[in-house]
Structure 1
């Protein structure tokens, strides 16, 4: 098993990267005009954005800690 496959932080980073790519692809596709009732409420989008920002912040912190631990091991 490769190091990346056994590292939960690396796996989380890869999953997040994949999710962001899928979101970008979905947003770039042409969409038919939707009725106002078919739209996602702005409050839900804002809440989702806040959760994503919090998740990214936690992942960045975990990655930084992982890198610092690796540097200490390499000394």
Structure 2
């Protein structure tokens, strides 16, 4: 088992990248015109985007902390 597969931060980053790839693939597929009743309210989309942004920010912070800790261990 590789070192990155044991690292929870690396695993979280990989899961996030995978989720973003799935979102891009889903959004890239052609769709028939949606009926107004089939559309997701903009407020829900905005809330989901804010949660995703917050998650990415926390992951970036965790990755930066892990990198700094690794650099200190290597000294």
Give TM-score scaled by structure 1 length. 0.98
Partner of 1:73: 73
1:28-70 deviations in Å (ceiling 9; x for gaps) = 1100011011000000000000000000000000000000000
Total equivalences in the alignment: 75
Give TM-score scaled by structure 2 length. 0.98
Partner of 2:58: 58
5+ residue gaps, structure 2: none
* SS of 1:30 mapped into structure 2: coil
> What RMSD, in angstroms, separates the aligned Cα atoms of the two structures?
0.5
Give the CA deviation at 1:6: 0.5
Give the CA deviation at 1:2: 1.2
Runs of 4 or more consecutive aligned structure 1 residues displaced over 4 Å after TM superposition: none
1:11 and 2:31 correspond:
no
5+ residue gaps, structure 1: none
